[in-house]
Structure 1
Amino acid sequence: MAGLTAGGPNVDVSLLYEINGLAQDAPGWLDRVVGFVGEYGLLLALVLLVLWCWRGVRRLPGAAAAEGFAALVWTPLAAGIALLVNIPLRQFVGRPRPFRQHGGLEVLADGKTDFSFVSDHATLAMALGVGLFIANRRLGFLGIGIALLEGLCRVYMGVHYPTDVIGGLALGTAVVLLLAPLAMALLTPLARAIAASPRIGWLVRSRRRGLAQPVDLPRSSSCENDLAA
């Protein structure tokens, strides 16, 4: 913990300067774009990806729609839990932001006064990506790729060390996967009940689909029909 609080091992700081150095050499408009994308854009892209997957899940028959819907409900819930877990973790480690420990950094985000380890943005992005992977392999790989890009942006912006990002990616992944069996066991029956409701059943399945149709589709194909359309 002392190494983290003091600014991290040398390789961590070296990577920080190398990646953030790209921001110093880049034109101002590119830094502004990366700053916006790293702060808001990539997270918004992940949310839209979850909604797109939901659109595809609703077109699946019966049990597959309920299972896919349960996985998509678990995705934001897991992300929220991961962020809550990070609150005491940040306070316990107490690692200052890199620009408070090291000079010469190009900082692309203002108002960062909280602790650095672990990155909330990386945690949230990876939780959404891995949760999406449970619902659909293809979109999940895309979501995980966006989460990795989010982590790179946070270091480029000068607001996190690389190990802050790695810790966030690990935390988001762990919360989603470790709690997924219990979450799916609780949410899948709820999704089936919602699907059977004449009022809100549209949340789980398209009105053109029936609930009782048999299904042999694996979970990984939840949205593939939508992508092929």
Structure 2
Amino acid sequence: MAELAPDGSNPDVSLLRDINGLAKDAPRWLDRIMEFVGEYGLVVLMVLLLGWCWWRVARRSPEAPAAVAGVLWSGLAAGIAVLLNIPLRGFVERPRPFVDHDGLDVLIKGKTDFSFVSDHATLTMAVAVGLFLVSRRVGAVALVVAVAEGFCRVYMGVHYPTDVVGGFALGTAVALLLAPLAMALLTPLVTAVGGSGAGWLVRAPVRRRTSGEPFPEPVAYDKDLAA
């Protein structure tokens, strides 16, 4: 990547310094929290959101197999996007911001790979967009988590803002553009699993109705999509 302009004339670097400057002014305990959250915590939270979304849609019939396939695609999209980022990083070869700019408060030491684009931003946004296609409610929460992850990466001094934006774009593109093909392949597979001994992965077990108990109201798949 071409050499960056001086800080004063480059909005990317200026925004980096503004956000990372918050780390300089924050107490050390808060920086330690941000370090953990930005490196591990929000990724773990995204995995928990995947599980939550699976639990919600697996109880819903008859569209449960397609919805579970969508949740499965959310995780696969993140993996594919991160793999695509490997050659992209090697092509752009953008150094980490602390390599070219002094005075940053770098919370995570030892980062020696290239900066563009952010793996964390790519992964979390791919999951978030995939989940949004399945459930607007869960997807909205996941989108907030992805944006928070991007902020943390800049706050920690390990990425430029444009690294994060690029990661968001890559994750979104993979999750959206490959979704039709992925769903065409995954839905029959998940449907087959639903009819096998591992059917609980697709449909949560239904509690038996006791004598005299009224039948439950039918639940439409992902009612929040109509909201």
What's the TM-score once normalised by structure 2's chain length? 0.89
How far does residue 15 in structure 1 lie from its aligned partner after superposition? 0.3
2:178 aligned counterpart, secondary structure: helix
- 1:134–1:220 CA contact under 8 A, matched in 2: no
Q: Distance in 1 between matches of 2:5 and 2:88?
A: 13
Map of 1:11 onto structure 2:
11
Q: Distance in 1 between matches of 2:47 and 2:5?
A: 33
Map of 2:39 onto structure 1:
39
Amino acid of the residue matched to residue 12 of structure 2?
D
Q: Please list, as runs of the form range in 1=range in 2, the aligned pairs for 1:67-78 lying within 5 A after superposition.
A: 67-78=66-77
Q: Distance in 2 between matches of 1:159 and 1:61?
A: 45
Amino acid of the residue matched to residue 191 of structure 2?
R
- 2:117–2:164 CA contact under 8 A, matched in 1: yes
Q: Distance in 2 between matches of 1:43 and 1:134?
A: 19
How far does residue 207 in structure 1 lie from its aligned partner after superposition? 2.2
Q: Distance in 2 between matches of 1:193 and 1:4?
A: 53
Map of 2:184 onto structure 1:
185
2:205 aligned counterpart, secondary structure: coil
Q: Distance in 1 between matches of 2:51 and 2:4?
A: 37
Pair 1:28 & 2:28 matched:
yes
Q: Deviations over 1:162-194 (max 9, x none)?
A: 000000000000000000001011111111111
How far does residue 100 in structure 1 lie from its aligned partner after superposition? 0.5
| Aligned pairs, number | 216
How far does residue 220 in structure 1 lie from its aligned partner after superposition? 6.2
- 2:57–2:221 CA contact under 8 A, matched in 1: no
1:12 aligned counterpart, secondary structure: helix
Structure 2, unaligned runs of 5 or more:
208-217
Q: Distance in 1 between matches of 2:159 and 2:60?
A: 41
Amino acid of the residue matched to residue 120 of structure 2?
H
Pair 1:201 & 2:204 matched:
no
Higher relative contact order (CA 8 A, sep 6+): 1
Q: Please list, as runs of the form range in 1=range in 2, the aligned pairs for 1:131-210 lying within 5 A after superposition.
A: 131-197=130-196, 199-208=197-206
Greater Cα radius of gyration, structure 1 or 2: 2
- 1:134–1:219 CA contact under 8 A, matched in 2: no
Q: Distance in 2 between matches of 1:217 and 1:130?
A: 22
- 1:4–1:95 CA contact under 8 A, matched in 2: no
Change (3 A) 1:105 1:3: same
Structure 1 ranges of 4+ moved more than 3 A: 3-7, 215-222
Q: Distance in 2 between matches of 1:34 and 1:187?
A: 37
Cα RMSD after superposing both structures: 2.2
